Amino acid sequence: MLRRFPLVDLSSRRGALSTGCAIGVGLGLILLVLGVVLMSTYNGLATAKQDVNAKFALLDSQYKRRADLIPQLVETVKGAANYEKSTLEAVVNARASVGQVKLPADVTSDPEALKRYMDAQAQLGGALSRLLVVAEQYPDLKATQNFLSLQDQIEGTENRIAVARGDYVSSVQGYNTRTVKFPGRLLAGMFGFTPLPQLESTTPAERQVPKIDFGTGK
């Protein structure tokens, strides 16, 4: 007696297999796209943070250049004019205060350290501004070649500080925007990309760039 086996619907199995493969491929593509988006977002945040650090380094280098010019300026002033002692001492003490500020490795992420640093720079900028204003009272001092050379260098440095400061502010703004916009907001907290403190003008001296104009026609 012959046994009968149930007929297998091969077309149905092939259809189910095809559907399963299509779903698997679709899920794989979704995961791949998601992975690419997440990786791109992470790299964007990391790159933006590195740009902030680089911009701060450029700003810091210009502040250091200004500080390096001050001893020459003080010696020139002392040798060419009977300057007010308090004015010179204010510049010297402010420069010393700047040198005493210790910056952490990631100062851009430390609002307190950044504030101490900028406050010290503002104090030095204010003292330097007062020193240069008083210099207008001494025609003989303004006529010395060494002083004129320092005048040019300080003026150029102040201009570069203003540019570097603006670049840093823009860089921080760009980074902070990435941390709050989708999809960066999803990854920022997970990987420590927190918003950074922005620079603010805390004193009138910090907002005012020293005027380097001694009637030389420049």
Q: Are 212 and 147 in contact (CB under 8 A)?
A: no
Measured between alpha carbons, how far is 180 from 165 in angstroms, rounded to an integer?
A: 23
Encoded amino acid at 207, one letter: R
Instruction: Give just the sign of the alpha carbon dihedral 39, 41, 47, 52.
Output: negative
Q: Are 72 and 152 in contact (CB under 8 A)?
A: no
Task: Give pLDDT, residue 190.
Answer: 86
Angle ∠(179,101,59) on CA atoms, nearest 5: 50
Give me the helix-helix angle, 10-80 and 111-135, nearest 10°.
30
pLDDT truncated to tens, each residue of the chain (218 aa)?
555 545 445 556 566 667 777 777 778 778 777 777 788 899 999 999 999 999 999 999 999 999 999 999 888 888 666 667 788 889 999 999 999 999 998 999 999 999 999 999 999 999 998 888 887 778 878 778 888 898 889 999 999 999 999 999 999 999 999 999 988 888 888 888 999 999 975 444 444 444 444 344 43
Q: Give the closest residue to 127 by CA, choosing from 74, 175, 76.
A: 74
> Hey, which CATH number is domain 52-207, 1.20.120, 2.60.40, 1.25.40, 2.30.29?
1.20.120
DSSP state of 199: P
Measured between alpha carbons, how far is 132 from 208 in angstroms, rounded to an integer?
A: 13
Q: Give the closest residue to 120 by CA, choosing from 72, 60, 170, 164.
A: 60
Measured between alpha carbons, how far is 98 from 101 in angstroms, rounded to an integer?
A: 6
Q: Give the closest residue to 121 by CA, choosing from 181, 84, 161.
A: 161
DSSP state of 101: P
Measured in residues, the chain has a length of: 218
DSSP state of 214: -
Query: What is the H or E stretch that residue 54 is in?
Result: helix 10-80
Q: Give the closest residue to 174 by CA, choosing from 156, 198, 138, 147.
A: 198
Tokens 């020193």 -> residue:
131
Task: Give pLDDT, residue 10.
Answer: 52
| Whether the model pTM is above 0.85 | no
Task: Give pLDDT, residue 153.
Answer: 93
Taking residue 110's Cβ as centre, other Cβ atoms within 10 Å add up to 16
Measured between alpha carbons, how far is 6 from 11 in angstroms, rounded to an integer?
A: 15
